[in-house]
Structure 1
Amino acid sequence: MSKFRLKLTGLFVLLIGFSVLAAGLLMGNSYQKNHQAALRDHMIRELHVLNAAAPWPVMDNEANQSEYLQTQAKRFKEIAGMRVTYIRLDGKVMGDSDHDPATMDNHLGRTEVQEALDSGTGSSIRHSDTLQQNMLYVAITVNGDKGSDKQGIIRLAMSLGDVERSLNNMWLALIFGLFLLFAIAAIISYRVALSVTRPLERMTSAAKRMANMDYAIRVPEGGRDEVGELARALNAMAGSLQEQLSEIRQNGTRLQSVLDNMTSGVVMIAHDGRITLYNRQAELLLGSTLRERVGRSYTEIRQHFELVGLIREGLENPVPLHEELTVYYPEERLLEINIVPMRLSGDEEPGLLLVVQDVTAIRRLERMRSEFVANVSHELKTPVAAVKGFAETLLSGAMNDPETARSFLTIIQDESERLNRLIGDILELSKIESRRSPLQFSPIDLPMFLARMTELLSAEAAKKEIVLDVQTEEGLFLEADEDRLGQILMNLMQNGINYTPEGGKVKVRAEIFTTNDGEEEEMVRITVSDTGIGIPKKDIPRIFERFYRVDKARSRSSGGTGLGLSIVKHLAELHHGTIRVESTVGVGSQFILELPLLQP
């Protein structure tokens, strides 16, 4: 039950209760006064009857007069049942039905006696200490039995106990009736208050739910009165707000979806420096989460000092800014930062919109392209310069010396072959990277395949007295592109032969193993190890880069192009495998190729 309904019901009950209580008090008081007045009149009549029946005696002897009046008082007490007292004009008691007159006080000071002396009749109500109850006293002045002037006062006294008991009963009945009326009034008032407050409560509850953005609530519209009109207006407002909120939520969902799926980080900062928007890509690029950033100051981005400085500059001088920054948290990246002043509302100072783009890969590709062009130019320039130089020498007269001419022509032929290999490797790498030549997978008998590779390279190994050792399980089959797998192993084994001193050893080992990453996929591991010069630790991370050489002079003398391991890495990835290298300078190197037994 609402407080308003309780107040309204209580107000109705109080009004009715006060009205009934006031009426009861007036009625009880009136009843008491009327009853006492009727009793007083009755007692006055009784006194006149008493005086008529036994007039005041006129006697010279006071004792005889007192005895007579005492006798009359007791006689009339037996008849009327009321206390009778005869009082002389000076207040002395001459006779009393209940007490000995000689023991009684002078009654001249009694109220009823004074009133009787003044006006002929008098009355009063006072408490009797003797009887311990309220008494009504009525007195009249009387003449003697011979019609002489006033001789004395006759007084009747009557207990008001019966009257008070009757009044008490009346008050009890009045109180009970009042409580009953209160209960009936409370029920009726509650029903009336309910009919008034229930629609208002429903509308108040609906308004509170609307304030909490619950616009699906509706209230019963009721009749055609003002409350019904208010309910209909409230329902219409709720329907309109619900449609608008649905449209706003759809737009917000679309915007959030766009922001979350953008490849750029978006950060919005209010004019006071608080971050108001922080999308998912911003979390990835700048670290921290949406919960950690939104609502807080940009100065709390302590991991990116330069970015904080840019934001501060943009807030102090609201002009578009464009910078590229290197950040190291959560990982090292090169970020392109675009800062644009933006007003969030018409009367606010401009805030900032930050668009953050990861350009690490783009810049790395640009650098790799520049390096590739430079390396290709350099690699092409060397054999071309050699061919050109020796050709010019021959043309200038060296052809006349057959031995010199043969030597120069041999060099020109070697450099041409080297140039041809370089161009071939560049074209091959381009095809592999662009995936213009898809792989053709088929089952390969690995022991037989490795034996054929060994046979092809045995003559080259024999020149340096290098032992080729192949170890593999019998019956081991692998699903792969036979030509590309041959290209991988031929490259690795040739590198082992080229970088192993005379009398060394190149070992090839193939085995099956199971991954422990939860999927338990069967893989084939092919390890090509040698006892060569090894690779310094600092060069290992870059060994698979294009044109990267550990020993440039030795690589050129061996006829290498610097693209072999890069081709190997790309072919391994096309086979859904991996390749890595482990090496110790002066001890040797081993290249570990891991390929799935069955292609996915």
Structure 2
Amino acid sequence: MKTFRTRMTIILMSLVGISMLAAGLTMAQLFKDSHIRALKENMAREINLLESTFPFISSGSGDAAEYYTSKARELEKLTDSRVTFIDLDGTVIGDSEMSPAEMDNHAHREEIESAEGGAIGSAIRYSETIGEDMLYVAHRVSSDAGFDGYIRLSMSLAAVGQEMNKGWYLMFGGLLLLFLAAALVSYRVAAGLTRPLEHITRVANRISRLEYDARVNLHRRDEIGQLGLAINGMADSLQQQLKVIHDNEDLMQSVLANMTGGILMVDSSENVALINREAERILHLRGEQILGKSYHELKRNYEFMKFVEEGTLHKEFLREERTVYDPEEMILQFDGVPMFEDDGSYRGMLFLLQDVTEIRRLEAMRSEFVANVSHELKTPIAAVKGFAETLLAGGVKDKETERSFLQIIHDEGERLNRLIGDILELSKIESKRAPLEYAPVNIKELFDGIYEMMRASAAKKSIVLVQDIPEHLYIEGDEDRLKQIFMNLMSNAISYTQDGGRVKVDVEVIGESEEEEKVRVTVSDTGIGIPKKDLPRIFERFYRVDKARSRSSGGTGLGLSIVKHLTELHQGSVRVESKVGEGSSFIVELPVMQSAEPEI
């Protein structure tokens, strides 16, 4: 094995040495060529700069040689290059190193000949004057001042040779280092047999650090390759299981975030371990403010904190309903459920918070509605029953009294019929079983029909009916339901207006654009008016301002509630303005066109 390693080392060292030598020679030549090319380009730029900035004079003048020689010497200090001015016929008229009179004609120099066509001419040759290889770069220059010839720059290539020497030193140094590296590599060939096992070990360690995307990248069919495949299979299985866990966790988080009830979990250390979005809303806090902290941090929500304290103390199921003010009144239902493991160990308490304010309000409304209905039904039934029993017992002998009793029974029967009809109508509207049939409705014709029906009851009280309604005004709506709205308002206005009063209907179009255009209908009277404290509740079911007056007028207490519901079904609104003793105005605003079919 040692002999094999030695042979491999020699072969590798030889190959590396030959490769390094060849690469070094190639790089040296490339470096030299590149450096010379850079020098040429730089010298050409300098000549171009001189062409555009140099103060030329006529080359035929008597002092031209002296002028250009002095200028050449000045430029040599600036450019670090020998500068030569050559006339078009090859005569040197200025040089920074020698006197022009001592210099040969340069017309047939390689750099001059190659520059005759206007290109940049260059040449490399040995200079007898300096005794070194020189790089010559020349370019023809024509000046308006009378100069027509060549500017030539030359530079010694000794610096290039010095750079080449440095390159050789670096190459030999690198070769030496490479020989040492080759020796190390040869001895590590045998160690390469253990690398797959090291790779497998590293992958296994990454998997143990929960990096389940780590894989063994070996393409071998031996036992080591089979071991790598087995580890990859294990990693695939773990990664799939982790994905399932993450998916389940995301699903749980989504469920918690979208629950309509609040969830808060207190662990066995009495720290808050979990809270969902609804609980944050109810408790008016953010999860990061409380997670990982003691539940005593809930002191702002004192009622709930006391409930949590009781639950963690008893560790049993609890349910309570409490009223809190934070800042508005809310009725909250708290449920506490203890959590135990299969082995009986205590994990903590899970608390459910449910805002039941609206539910309790609806329950109260339902109870009040049932009570009101029972009371309203009981009154006419009691009257009918009492007077009927009196008649049946034969206690009434007078025909006039008997007739008045029968009239009372008839009136109460009618009132009972209206009450039942209004209850059924309101129930139908509220249960969304009253579909609207939209069609164009002429407002003027609608109120003409209503006025005709109301005229008799208004005449009994000498009430004047007035209307100010534009002709040919149409809105989209259900004509029967609209008639029901305004008949209820007109009937109320007549009922609560004293004899000799006035009921008026005003109709106008409002809205800045066609899309927002609405019709405003105002039914006003000169009646008894409504106290300010009763205005917010005027549209509630069975709510009466003057109960005795309402019953005597035959009202059921449901008319305005029906008006409100039907107006909202038409995507409109209704409000009331009133002053006691001056009258009331009910203002209904309805869209001219229904934008979409409302839910009913």
Q: TM-score, normalised by structure 1?
A: 0.62
Matches within 5 A, 1:64-79: none
Aligned to 1:547: 542
Aligned to 1:306: 303
CA distance in 2, matches of 1:287, 1:438: 41
Does 1:561 pair with 2:553?
A: no
How far is the alpha carbon of 1:564 from its aligned partner?
0.9
1:124-181 CA distance string (max 9 Å, x none): xxxxxxxxxxxxxxxxxxxxxxxxxxxxxxxxxxxxxxxxxxxxxxxxxxxx999975
CA distance in 1, matches of 2:205, 2:520: 72
Pick one of 523, 533, 536 that aligns with 1:538. Answer: 533
Q: Secondary structure at the match of 2:527?
A: coil
Q: Give identity over the alignment, percent.
A: 55
Letter in 1 for 2:556: T
**Residues 398 and 404 in structure 1, CA contact (< 8 A), matched pair in contact too:** no
Aligned to 1:527: 522
**Residues 467 and 506 in structure 1, CA contact (< 8 A), matched pair in contact too:** yes
Letter in 2 for 1:556: R
Aligned to 1:276: 273
CA distance in 2, matches of 1:214, 1:402: 104
**Residues 203 and 219 in structure 1, CA contact (< 8 A), matched pair in contact too:** no
CA distance in 2, matches of 1:392, 1:510: 51
Q: Secondary structure at the match of 1:438?
A: coil
**Residues 318 and 350 in structure 1, CA contact (< 8 A), matched pair in contact too:** no
How far is the alpha carbon of 1:323 from its aligned partner?
0.6
Q: Secondary structure at the match of 2:522?
A: strand
**Judging changes above 3 Å, is the alpha-carbon distance between structure 1 residues 223 and 459 closer, same or farther for their aligned structure 2 residues?**
same
Pick one of 582, 586, 590 that aligns with 1:595. Answer: 590
Q: Secondary structure at the match of 1:474?
A: coil
**Residues 261 and 352 in structure 2, CA contact (< 8 A), matched pair in contact too:** yes
Letter in 2 for 1:577: G
CA distance in 2, matches of 1:568, 1:490: 9
Letter in 2 for 1:532: G
Aligned to 1:38: none
Q: Secondary structure at the match of 1:427?
A: helix
**Judging changes above 3 Å, is the alpha-carbon distance between structure 1 residues 214 and 589 closer, same or farther for their aligned structure 2 residues?**
farther
**Judging changes above 3 Å, is the alpha-carbon distance between structure 1 residues 530 and 290 closer, same or farther for their aligned structure 2 residues?**
farther
CA distance in 2, matches of 1:210, 1:223: 24
Letter in 2 for 1:580: R
Pick one of 440, 444, 458 that aligns with 1:443. Answer: 440
Gaps of 5+ in 2: 1-170
**Residues 196 and 224 in structure 2, CA contact (< 8 A), matched pair in contact too:** no
**Residues 515 and 523 in structure 1, CA contact (< 8 A), matched pair in contact too:** no
How far is the alpha carbon of 1:552 from its aligned partner?
0.9
Matches within 5 A, 1:458-469: 458-469=455-466
1:384-431 CA distance string (max 9 Å, x none): 222222233334445321222222222222212111111111122222
Pick one of 317, 338, 342 that aligns with 1:341. Answer: 338
| Structure 1 stretch displaced more, 502-511 or 308-317 | 502-511
**Judging changes above 3 Å, is the alpha-carbon distance between structure 1 residues 413 and 233 closer, same or farther for their aligned structure 2 residues?**
same
Does 1:499 pair with 2:496?
A: yes
CA distance in 2, matches of 1:328, 1:538: 24
Letter in 2 for 1:563: L
Q: Secondary structure at the match of 1:350?
A: strand
Letter in 1 for 2:313: E
| Structure 1 stretch displaced more, 185-194 or 307-316 | 185-194
Pick one of 422, 425, 429 that aligns with 1:425. Answer: 422
Q: Secondary structure at the match of 2:396?
A: helix
**Residues 270 and 344 in structure 1, CA contact (< 8 A), matched pair in contact too:** no
Q: Secondary structure at the match of 1:379?
A: helix
CA distance in 2, matches of 1:537, 1:410: 37
| Structure 1 stretch displaced more, 285-294 or 409-418 | 285-294
Matches within 5 A, 1:463-502: 463-502=460-499
**Judging changes above 3 Å, is the alpha-carbon distance between structure 1 residues 234 and 184 closer, same or farther for their aligned structure 2 residues?**
farther
Does 1:578 pair with 2:573?
A: yes
CA distance in 2, matches of 1:301, 1:524: 52
| Structure 1 stretch displaced more, 563-572 or 454-463 | 454-463
Letter in 2 for 1:539: D
Q: Secondary structure at the match of 2:380?
A: helix
**Judging changes above 3 Å, is the alpha-carbon distance between structure 1 residues 496 and 283 closer, same or farther for their aligned structure 2 residues?**
farther
Q: Secondary structure at the match of 1:356?
A: strand
Q: Secondary structure at the match of 2:530?
A: coil
Aligned to 2:408: 411
CA distance in 2, matches of 1:197, 1:460: 108
**Residues 206 and 214 in structure 2, CA contact (< 8 A), matched pair in contact too:** no
Does 1:399 pair with 2:380?
A: no
**Residues 210 and 238 in structure 1, CA contact (< 8 A), matched pair in contact too:** no
CA distance in 2, matches of 1:200, 1:584: 95
**Judging changes above 3 Å, is the alpha-carbon distance between structure 1 residues 288 and 529 closer, same or farther for their aligned structure 2 residues?**
farther
1:314-347 CA distance string (max 9 Å, x none): 1111011011122333753322221110147969
**Judging changes above 3 Å, is the alpha-carbon distance between structure 1 residues 403 and 253 closer, same or farther for their aligned structure 2 residues?**
same
**Residues 344 and 351 in structure 1, CA contact (< 8 A), matched pair in contact too:** no
1:248-302 CA distance string (max 9 Å, x none): 1222233233333433322222122322222333344443344444334333334
**Judging changes above 3 Å, is the alpha-carbon distance between structure 1 residues 186 and 587 closer, same or farther for their aligned structure 2 residues?**
farther
**Residues 438 and 476 in structure 2, CA contact (< 8 A), matched pair in contact too:** yes
1:78-119 CA distance string (max 9 Å, x none): xxxxxxxxxxxxxxxxxxxxxxxxxxxxxxxxxxxxxxxxxx
**Judging changes above 3 Å, is the alpha-carbon distance between structure 1 residues 445 and 204 closer, same or farther for their aligned structure 2 residues?**
farther
How far is the alpha carbon of 1:312 from its aligned partner?
0.6
CA distance in 2, matches of 1:376, 1:324: 29
**Judging changes above 3 Å, is the alpha-carbon distance between structure 1 residues 276 and 522 closer, same or farther for their aligned structure 2 residues?**
farther
Pick one of 231, 253, 258 that aligns with 1:256. Answer: 253
Matches within 5 A, 1:206-355: 211=209, 215-223=212-220, 231-232=228-229, 234-329=231-326, 331-343=328-340, 349-355=346-352
CA distance in 1, matches of 2:577, 2:198: 83
Matches within 5 A, 1:23-172: none
**Residues 213 and 239 in structure 2, CA contact (< 8 A), matched pair in contact too:** yes
Letter in 1 for 2:388: A
**Residues 320 and 340 in structure 1, CA contact (< 8 A), matched pair in contact too:** yes
How far is the alpha carbon of 1:204 from its aligned partner?
4.9
CA distance in 2, matches of 1:467, 1:489: 17
CA distance in 2, matches of 1:337, 1:379: 38
**Residues 303 and 329 in structure 1, CA contact (< 8 A), matched pair in contact too:** no
**Residues 203 and 215 in structure 2, CA contact (< 8 A), matched pair in contact too:** no
**Residues 337 and 349 in structure 2, CA contact (< 8 A), matched pair in contact too:** yes
Letter in 2 for 1:240: S
Q: Aligned-residue CA RMSD in angstroms?
A: 3.4
CA distance in 2, matches of 1:579, 1:345: 61
**Residues 428 and 434 in structure 2, CA contact (< 8 A), matched pair in contact too:** yes
Letter in 2 for 1:535: I
How far is the alpha carbon of 1:572 from its aligned partner?
1.9
**Judging changes above 3 Å, is the alpha-carbon distance between structure 1 residues 309 and 495 closer, same or farther for their aligned structure 2 residues?**
same
Q: Secondary structure at the match of 1:595?
A: strand
**Judging changes above 3 Å, is the alpha-carbon distance between structure 1 residues 417 and 219 closer, same or farther for their aligned structure 2 residues?**
same
**Residues 511 and 526 in structure 1, CA contact (< 8 A), matched pair in contact too:** yes
CA distance in 1, matches of 2:471, 2:183: 103
**Judging changes above 3 Å, is the alpha-carbon distance between structure 1 residues 499 and 310 closer, same or farther for their aligned structure 2 residues?**
same
